[in-house]
Structure formats: structure tokens, C-alpha cells
Amino acid sequence: MANKKKKIRIELKKNRQKRTRSNDLTRAFSDEKPAAAESVAGERVRPKGEMSRRRTIVADADETSSPTGAEAAAEGAAGRRAVDESNWLSGRVLRVHGLVNIVEAEDGRTYPCHVRRLLKSMAIDGRNVVAVGDRVWFRPPEGGGDEGFIERVENRRGVVTRGYRGRRHVLAANVDAVCIVSGLAEPGLKISLIDRYLAAAEIAGVRPVIVLNKADLVDVAPYQWVVGLYTQLGYETIVTSAADGRGIDRLRELLRGGVTAISGQSGVGKSSLLNAIQPGLNLRVSEVSDWTSKGKHTTTTAELIRLNDGGYVVDTPGLRQFELWDVLPGELEGCFIEFRPFVPLCRFPDCSHTHEHRCAVKDAVYWGWIHAGRYESYLKLYHQKPDDGV
């Protein structure tokens, strides 16, 4: 039975930018034509850049419910168009190279595709309409053409995101887990960055796995408290080394089945780990910069990779900044799982756990029931302070 269709109105981007001010105003000034008369003649009650833009599209009847919230709108705006199964194919985005997206169809063939202009014009909060891991409907190349067109993006689940320059940056979509890779050396362990990733994983509803890499470069004994801290919180924590093979078998077992995003700071060895997990993958790797002691951006674009032992991984570019996206300060307490038993015991129902008296969370930090470093990460996120040195 064919799906019922319905016409809906969608918001489009206001892609008419205001004109920049001319630099030759005095040169164009003339006594013969007063400036006041010119300004009145060119005056607009409502500038073009502020005009709203909408368009009617044909959508499936069960897809026309309006999503609530900025993130839901960003995920659902590109997935409302009705599917033309006679001319379109379904597939999954493997890579995004600028304007070209590599899409794998259900039969295993890959197609380079552009994004239809209508999807690009939709008013969403994301940097890009399409992300690696997206399920899409696309029109294959026709008439001897080399590239197809992505016509529809299905609703996402398990979206790992960050805030970047005031916009939503989707690192990977439709994933089941995220491996948070941090280096014990070069560039070094950053607890606060791990906590930010854990908060993002809690928001996305994906299972986090903490990977402490480059164990061959340090004495692991001083870092056992880190393993114990996150293990007691219920997070899988693995100490690995791509050089000597430590922890590789356990990591390979965790990656088997499902889709896992591999993310972390630049230079922590994400690509080296994947090369060790699947020999022959030959992903590019490079050394940490001697000048800045930070990782170089060797992986420049995210890529969905099929593993020989089963499952997929998304190799994401290294990050030097990670901010949570579209999270209110009052919602952060739910992202720290050790806070949850103490939140109901606070004196005030809207307690922020930052300065209030008789705050059960602050008392738990005082008595050592909540780690002080985790609480400091919460305060940074609550006050929207960036992570120094990321």
C-alpha cells in the first residue's frame, strides 16, 4: 500500500545577505542631488535580507509532524520529502568531501552524489545537511552523468555532535557507540575533555567507551586511578597501545557489531589504533608537532569503514575544541551519572549545584563520593568555560 502524501510548508535559509557599505560615499556625493532625496528613493520598509522564505513540498503523511527543539528540527527538516522509490535508491553516506558525498547503496555499489539544492536551502542549525552515517535516498546518475543527487535524509538516531562557531557540527550519525580516545602522552591526558565527550554521549543516547592510548610511552601505574574512576561509574575503560598491541584484542571485540564513532583530540592515535585493529587499512598517521605539542590534523574528513570482523567504525578528524551543543545549564546535571542519586536531596528543586547552601551534590564532593575533578568539569560546562589547551 502506497504511503499517503501531504503538502507542507518548510522554512528556507535567508540566503540574501545585506550589502556591504560602499567605501566611496563621499566621492559619489553631489550638490545637484541631495543625499536626503537619494536615501528616500532607495529606502525599504523591510530589507530583503530579513524576508522569510518558505516552500511547499510533498511529504509522507507520517513524516509531517513538526519536530520540537533545535536539534530535532535540524535532524528532521531534510527527511520530510516524499520518497520516489521508482527513481531513487536508498543508501548510507560513507564520506563527505566538500560538495561531493560518497554514498553506498544497499547492493554495495558506491556513488558520488551532490546534495539537492532544496535540502541545502532548508533552515537548519547544522553546518551541513548530510553527515557521515546518514541514511539517505538518492537519485543515481542519469544520461551518462558521473554524479547523483541526494534527495532525502532520513531521521537520525545516535548523533554525536559538538558546537562549532555557533553552529551544530555533526561528527557522526546513526551510531551505537562512541570511542573516546585520549593519549596518555603526546599530547597527554585531559580529564575535562573526556568528561565533555561523556556528557555528549549521554545526550545522544549512545554507549561511550573510553580508550587511553599510547600506553607504551608512559608508566601506566600513575594512571590507574583514571581507569578506576570511570570504571566505577560504569564506563568501559581500556588502556591500549598501537605500538605493542596492548588492549587491541579487547577493543576489536567491542567494535564487532554495530556502528562506532572513533573520536578524540588531534594526535591521540585514532588512525593508528584502527590500523592495528584491521591490518591493511593503511590510514594516514603523523607525529605530534614538536612546536605546539599538539596533534596534526592527519585525518581531514570523517569516513565510515567496514571492519572485516563485523561492524562499522567512523574515523573522525581530530578535534582541538569540543563544546556541547544546545544544552541548557540546568540540563547538565543529568549528563553526570554520579550526580543523579544526590540531586533529589538538594534543598532547592532548581539547585544549580554551584553556590547554593545545603546542596547534596556539593556535600557529596566534600565527602569524596563525587570526584572533585568531575565536579570541576561540571562547573566549566555550567559556566560555559572553554577547555584550555584542547
Q: Which domains does the chain have, with CATH numbers?
A: 54-153 (2.40.50.140), 160-315 (3.40.50.300), 329-382 (1.10.40.50)
Task: Tell me the C-alpha distance between 335 and 327, whole Å.
Answer: 10
- Show the cell assigned to 133: 552515517
Residue-level pLDDT, tens digit, the chain, 390 residues: 456 665 555 566 555 455 555 555 555 555 555 544 444 444 444 445 544 565 555 556 555 454 554 445 444 555 566 677 788 899 999 998 878 899 999 998 999 998 887 777 664 555 678 889 999 999 888 876 778 899 888 988 999 888 877 788 888 999 999 999 999 988 889 899 999 999 999 999 999 999 999 999 999 999 999 999 999 999 999 999 988 999 999 999 999 888 999 998 888 888 889 999 988 887 866 554 443 444 454 556 888 999 988 889 999 887 777 888 888 888 999 999 999 999 999 999 999 999 999 999 999 999 999 999 999 999 999 988 766 544
- Predicted confidence at residue 20, as pLDDT, reads 53
How much is the pLDDT for 381?
Answer: 92
Give CA–CA dist 356/379, Å, rounded. 13
Residue 340 confidence (pLDDT): 95
**pLDDT score recorded for residue 239:** 95
d(CA 382, CA 384): 5
Say what the pLDDT of residue 129 is. 83
pLDDT at position 300, please? 65
**pTM of this structure:** 0.77
What distances in angstroms separate CA 112 from CA 26, 97, 140, 149, 358, one per listed residue? 51, 10, 9, 8, 59
| DSSP symbols for 177-189 | EEEEEEESTTTT-
40: CB partners within 8 A, 6+ apart: none
pLDDT of residue 213: 93
Q: How far apart are CA 335 and CA 322, in angstroms?
A: 16
